[in-house]
A and B are shown apart, each in its own frame.
Chain A
Amino acid sequence: MAFEFKLPDIGEGVHEGEILKWLVSEGDVVKEDQPLVEIMTDKVNAAIPSPRAGKILKRFGKEGEVIRVGSVLMVIGEAGESAPAAGPSAVAAAPSHPAPERGTGMGAAAPAVAGGKAQATPAVRKMAREMAVNIDSVTGTGPGGRVTEADVKAAASGAKALPVRSAALPVPAATRAALPPASIAPGEREERIPLRGMRKRIADHMSEARHRAAHFTYVDEADMGEIVALRERAKKVGEAKGIKITFLPFIIKAVTHALKDHPMLNASLDEARQEIVMKRYYNIGVATNTDQGLVVPVIHDADRRSILELAREVEALAEKARTNKLTLPDIQGSTFTITSVGKLGGVISTPIVNYPEVAILGVNKIDKKAVVRDDKVAIRQMMNLSLSLDHRVVDGYVGAVFLADVIKYLEDPNHFLL
């Protein structure tokens, strides 16, 4: 008997997933637990295993399509079974219909309505093509989530800042064909990469954050001399235990201490209910670069962990991120995010908040700088901190006081060690 396999519940709060890659084809015989398809949800790739042994009779959805949890992903039958559509051919003595007759296929081939496609009128879809906007990635503000003309225009103006989008500009065939015969084969001058998977998640998430939050960035500097000295000592302790100690655990420590004094930065805005959600737990997201793009693993209850524990956790999560082994709990539930480009560090940055959080701290490089202390020029280990905030929730003054406290903790770690 054919069995309809529906996209299972992959994790809490996950309602849909994007088909990243089919690992099996129609007609393949599969074993139980054999991975069938890679599904991208939020920022986790999950390989969905087969619930049973059998033959893949039918697959639904193309790579890049978004499907809802509970919708049919494929039909699995017994090894000898053929796809339902081919059923009655065994009865026939006459040769099987090589092609459906004029019109008879119209039902079968009628395009589906849903399936990750934006709901928009044909005219709006045409406008989106002309403005080189991928309408399926635009968040609709019309009734029932319809993408309106205004939504497309907004996406088009936002898209100009996004290199990802401009890379997807269509190449008119005429332009290609009209190239001078300089023996450049069409297509060689540019490459087209479908915006899908993690890149699409990042694009959607960043657009949403930029679109909704009222961003502003505030920069101040910290004298990291004490932390540099402290880390040198801690490194030796860490080495004995096999833990690599970076600056990040100290910064996380300073941040969680400061957050307790300034709860408005450890919050999110529930737009639907028009409420500010203040969180009494401190889960720190750590923006991490991987081959596939940015992910933000989360250190849960960071305030309750020691420097060594934080160091171990940071290292473990970074390793999981690099090897693509993050699970949903690893990337969910952050209340505040820290982003650092490691040794590159830069001078200042203007981070985008990890929406719907309201604050993100950009950590820049530690560098020896000439500063004035007691009316004399001194050499100090200075570091800039770039704090981006959602001004709808956090006013400038509140942010400035918070950052001053973070700096206070960093410049005198005794405050949080004691």
Chain B
Amino acid sequence: MEGGQTADFDCVVIGGGPGGYVAAIRLAQLKQKVVVVERDRLGGVCLNYGCIPSKALIHAAHVFEAAGHSEELGIRSGGVSLDAEKLQAWKGTVVAKLTGGVAQLLKGNGAEALIGDATVASPTLVEVTTKVGVKELSTRAVIVATGASAIDLPFARFDGATVISSKEALELKSIPKTMVVIGGGVIGLEIASCLAKFGTKITVIEMLEEVLPGVDVDCIRVVKKALRGHGVEFFTKAAARNVEKTGSGALVTFVTEEGETKVVEVDKVLVSVGLRPNVEGFGIEALGVKRAEKGGWVLTDDRQATNVPGIYAIGDCTGPPYLAHRASKQGIVAAEVIAGRPSAADFRAMPGAIFTDPEIATVGLTEEQAKAQGMEILVGKVPFGAVGKSIAINAPDGFVKLLFDKNTKAIVGAHLVGAGVSEIISELALALELGATADDIALTVHPHPTMPEGIMEAAEAALGRSIHFMGARR
């Protein structure tokens, strides 16, 4: 902008993941000249190494298990086997279809895409190192959408073969016989759920009191029981101490809660202890962009603006919760703000889905959080065993738990565990955004027979009038 010259772009988006590419499309829709700079593949972790490929494999694991374990339904199959390479090839087509779609959408909306490494020289100048040389892009604004990366441990560095992150775990060409999962968070348990069905014997080592920290404890109990049924062994309050590679795998040493030192020999070690925001190495440190003292992620206001005028940040590089849908929504906000619209990230509900089997889906406050805020709550909890559909599809485990403000009866949180609950949490996110009360949900007709009837019943249970569930309020 110096000298009054027109900038090449209205915005340069750094990172082509679910935050960055969505921001770029929205910017283009708003007639802004925009380019997305991606150093690897459009679609980011989500489409290439995360959400999408993991869901493809989890789906395959579900089909594999159903095919082999449906004698109860009178279905006998003559021995089910898995061709892991073919599965990977199919997964590859899923990813290719979706990432190709992203490129099409960008192009169709008039947003440019550039593969290369970006460096933010100033809020109005981004240098991109591509295969063919360095390009200088002058711009009015920059959106930092650089995501986050998996963290390894000093004694268990990622080697891409034996000690792996979720990325490699989703690219396995053969199913390991045994695996240790260090870190029982969402990623660790989703992969454990998937591989256990394919026959891997899994040991989960979690240093905290419980796996899936921050998630409703009743939900966790249901998932752990199901995973144990698939042979998964859990060690909580346990500390991994050492990983020693052998010819074919690794010896993992850990100390249990009781102080006992154990050593297990496994084919693979999945390290899923957390994510680190990608905030260094592309110039924003030098520009004085403010970051969280603990955690290091980029700090923004509700317009996604950083403290440096012209620089915005969205998605995983702005810290937890690390969710693709959060990144996308923030991307839209940043795009609209840059286009001069009075947009703001003011969502009240940030739903989360965990694709274990059964699934967990949550939105809003947990009971502990509501109580910590001094809120008196009303709980409506109904097991899926009281819902016809879940019996009919042979998936009776789990429940719907809804939390309401005792005074206003407005919904404040929802915690579901059961078959396919990720598909039905959106109703409760909408309820939260609209400030629906227990009556609003209970009085809404839910079609029969469907899983969401459990939501209606739970709202009725909170009001003391569930039809299909006689259990007392917990």
Contact = CB atoms under 8 A, between A and B. Distances in A.
A102 B212 CA distance: 10
Interface stretch (A43-51, A175-183, A312-320, A380-388): A175-183
Contacts of B343: 126, 129
Contacts of B341: 130, 172
Given A110-B363, A172-B342, A102 B347 contact: no
B187 to A, nearest CB: 6
Contact of A99 (B187, B277, B432): B277
A109 B320 contact: yes
Given A113-B364, A113-B412, A103 B154 contact: no
A144 B439 CA distance: 13
A103 B352 contact: yes
Contact of A174 (B212, B316, B338, B410): B338
A201 B363 CA distance: 33
A259 to B, nearest CB: 40
A101 to B, nearest CB: 3
Contacts of A146: 435
A98 interface: yes
B364 to A, nearest CB: 6
A105 B340 CA distance: 32
B297 to A, nearest CB: 8
Nearest to A146: B435
A149 B379 CA distance: 31
B417 to A, nearest CB: 13
A1 interface: no
Contacts of B309: 176, 186-187
Interface in A1-36: 4, 6
A180 B4 contact: yes
A80 interface: no
Query: Chain A CB within 10 Å — which of B255, B364, B435 has the most?
Result: B435
B216 A132 contact: no
Contact of A101 (B237, B274, B350): B274
B187 A101 contact: yes
Query: Chain A CB within 10 Å — which of B4, B214, B240 has the most?
Result: B214
Query: Chain A CB within 10 Å — which of B209, B237, B339, B346 has the most?
Result: B346
Contacts of B10: 174
B340 A113 contact: no
Contact of B321 (A103, A170, A173, A175): A103
Contact of A114 (B4, B151, B347, B375): B375
A410 to B, nearest CB: 51
Contact of B214 (A107, A114, A177): A107
B277 A121 contact: no
Interface in B334-380: 337-344, 346-354, 362-366, 369, 372-375
A62 to B, nearest CB: 12
Contacts of B364: 110, 113
B362 A6 contact: no
B230 interface: no
B50 interface: yes
Interface in A140-195: 144, 146, 170, 172-178, 180-181, 186-187
B467 interface: no
A71 interface: yes
A71 B208 contact: no
A102 B323 contact: yes
A105 B320 contact: yes
Interface in B282-317: 295, 297, 303, 305, 309-310, 316
A106 B321 contact: yes
Contact of B410 (A104, A113, A177, A181): A113
A125 interface: yes
A4 B408 CA distance: 23
Given A104-B186, A113-B365, A177 B321 contact: no
A371 B351 CA distance: 75
B292 to A, nearest CB: 10
B339 A144 contact: no
A102 B216 CA distance: 16
A119 B437 CA distance: 12
Nearest to B1: A181
Contact of A106 (B239, B240, B347, B350): B350
A378 B50 CA distance: 92
Contacts of B2: 181
B342 A130 contact: yes
B433 A122 contact: yes
B432 A113 contact: yes
A170 B342 contact: yes
Interface string B110-145: 000000000000000000000000000000110000
Contacts of A129: 342-344, 346
B208 A88 contact: yes
B374 A102 contact: no
Nearest to A120: B435
Contacts of B362: 106-107, 110
Contacts of B154: 95
Interface of B: 1-4, 10, 50, 140-141, 148, 151, 153-154, 182-183, 185-188, 207-209, 212-216, 237, 239-241, 255, 272-277, 295, 297, 303, 305, 309-310, 316, 319-323, 337-344, 346-354, 362-366, 369, 372-375, 405, 408, 410, 412-413, 432-435, 437
Given A72-B372, A99-B277, A132-B342, 13 more contacts: A94-B241, A100-B213, A101-B185, A101-B274, A106-B320, A112-B369, A113-B364, A114-B375, A121-B433, A121-B434, A174-B340, A177-B140, A180-B4
The 6 A-B residue pairs with the shortest CB-CB distance, nearest first, are A105-B320, A101-B185, A106-B352, A174-B340, A172-B340, A71-B374
13 contacts: A4-B374, A60-B372, A94-B207, A94-B273, A97-B151, A99-B295, A101-B186, A101-B188, A107-B214, A107-B362, A122-B347, A144-B408, A173-B340
